[in-house]
């Protein structure tokens, strides 16, 4: 596997998405999945993955606390790519009920531990169900999103989840992503143009202020590294 990943990582350098995605899809056997949160990166990948719907299972995590604008762009995406099936994974109601009884409906504001537990219940647990049995997981991670992602490769072995993680947009800049979105008239969350560059759950996301880094709008009341746990195992230096 190590040799295969090294070979493919070298082969992927400089390849446009329309060549990189089919190359990787055809290089791996077994179940292949793509996780979308309907953010700008995932929307771009959806456009390029849609023609390969028979090879990739597309899914999203509905946390139950999302913006109405996210549901709106979700529907517009389904309308644009009618042959693409997007499976939805929800948190366990019992887990939500127990959390709310113990911490309150917005208890995640009270401590980092509370917030991480909410993310675990609403995101991480459903994610584990979605990627169970998968051999390849496609993500929208980009190196410039945070310092912790600069050392990633296009393809990496995810030891915790026992699969290969594929980051086709790794070296794309935000301007390049935006240009492709405009070129192909790909549906975009209306919050994006209002300064919401990284869109998660509504209570945990705000618009960026001028000069703030990409992730500053997520869990803004916390200091230090801020992640929900979905990519913690393969983002190096976490």
Which of 57, 7, 15 lies closest to 170 in space, CA to CA? 15
Strand ranges across the sheet with 155-158: 86-89, 57-61, 31-35, 134-138, 163-166, 155-158
CA angle 96-134-141, nearest 5°? Answer: 75
Write the burial class of residue 212 (CB in 10 Å: 0-12 exposed, 13-18 middle, 19+ buried). middle
Spatial separation of the C-alpha atoms in residues 234 and 156, rounded to whole Å: 8
Q: Is-contact 22 10, C-beta < 8 A?
A: no
228 catalytically annotated? yes
Catalytic residue among 118, 201, 204, 228: 228
Cα distance between residue 83 and residue 222, in whole Å: 41
Active site residues: 228
């Amino acid at each position: 596997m190590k040799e295969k990943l090294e070979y493919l990582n070298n082969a992927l350098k400089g390849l446009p998405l329309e060549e990189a995605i089919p190359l990787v899809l055809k290089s791996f056997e077994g179940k292949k999945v793509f996780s979308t949160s309907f953010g700008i990166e995932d929307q771009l990948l959806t456009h390029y993955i849609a023609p390969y719907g028979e090879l990739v299972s597309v899914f999203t995590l509905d946390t139950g606390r999302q913006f109405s604008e996210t549901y709106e762009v979700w529907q517009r995406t389904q309308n644009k790519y009618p042959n693409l099936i997007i499976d939805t994974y929800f948190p366990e109601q019992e887990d939500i009920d127990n959390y709310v009884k113990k911490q309150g409906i917005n208890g995640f504001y009270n401590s980092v531990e509370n917030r991480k537990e909410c993310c675990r219940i609403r995101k991480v647990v459903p994610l584990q169900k979605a990627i169970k049995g998968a051999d390849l997981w496609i993500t929208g991670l980009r190196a410039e999103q945070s310092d912790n992602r600069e050392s990633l490769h296009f393809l990496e072995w995810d030891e915790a989840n026992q699969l290969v993680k594929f980051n086709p947009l790794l070296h794309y800049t935000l301007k390049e992503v935006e240009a492709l979105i405009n070129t192909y008239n790909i549906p975009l969350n209306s919050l994006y143009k209002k300064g919401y560059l990284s869109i998660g759950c509504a209570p945990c996301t705000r618009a960026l202020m001028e000069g703030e880094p990409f992730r500053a709008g997520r869990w803004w009341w916390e200091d230090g590294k801020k992640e929900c746990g979905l990519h913690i195992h393969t983002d190096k230096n976490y």
